[in-house]
């Protein structure tokens, strides 16, 4: 059962039911919602939305499980990048923030754009793969 598009060519699986496509979209968008809801804590909760959806739907909806894992892996990578940049800023007694803050803005905007693209593709029934993603959860 290898119907995942490893080359991200955009092949559409027309057999994916509308409900699964919608949940796949929610898996990607839940990163943004969880990030906003945990913004009081610095926005580190990006991974909570995809994790919850993956745990709820992994046994019943294969497309949703695939997209939730992809979103979960991407959110872990983005969180890791932000954590490293934050530590660099702190370890340099704040001077490093002159460099890391613009990088954080760029990474944040890229993550926002890629998440929206992923949500749109999932809603079309396309198994989206984030570029530069490390697949920690398999």
Tell me: the pLDDT tens digits for 58-69?
Answer: 999 999 999 999
51 lies in a domain?
A: yes
- 85 in any annotated domain: yes
Residue 12 inside a domain? The answer is: no
User: What residues have CB less than 8 Å from 121, skipping those under 6 apart?
Assistant: 10, 127, 128
Express each pLDDT in 27-56 by its tens digit. Answer: 999 988 887 787 766 667 788 889 999 999
Q: Which residue has the tokens 């905007």?
A: 109
45 is in which domain, residue-wise? 18-123
Q: Which residues contact 49 (CB under 8 A, 6 or more apart)?
A: 27, 29, 30, 31, 32, 33, 34, 71, 75
Q: What is the number of structural domains in the chain?
A: 1
Name the one residue in this structure whose structure tokens are 């709820």: 56
The Cβ of residue 80 has, within 10 Å, a number of other Cβ atoms equal to: 12
At a CB cut-off of 8 Å and minimum separation 6, what does 126 contact?
5, 10, 11, 12, 13
Residue 135 lies in a domain: no
| 86 lies in some domain | yes
Q: pLDDT-based confidence at 94, cuts 50/70/90?
A: confident
Alpha carbon distance 66, 92 (integer Å): 39
Alpha-carbon distance of 29 to 37, in angstroms, equals 13
């Amino acid at each position: 059962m290898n119907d995942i598009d490893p080359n991200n060519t955009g092949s559409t699986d027309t057999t994916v039911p509308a409900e699964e496509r919608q949940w796949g979209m929610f898996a990607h968008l839940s990163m943004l919602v969880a990030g906003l809801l945990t913004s009081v804590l610095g926005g580190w909760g990006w991974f909570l939305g995809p994790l919850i959806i993956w745990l709820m739907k992994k046994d019943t909806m294969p497309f949703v499980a695939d997209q939730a894992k992809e979103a979960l892996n991407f959110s872990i990578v983005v969180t890791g990048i932000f954590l490293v940049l934050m530590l660099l800023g702190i370890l340099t007694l704040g001077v490093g923030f002159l460099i890391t803050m613009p990088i954080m803005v760029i990474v944040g905007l890229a993550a926002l754009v890629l998440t929206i693209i992923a949500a749109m593709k999932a809603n079309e029934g396309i198994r989206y793969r984030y570029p530069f993603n490390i697949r920690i959860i398999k």
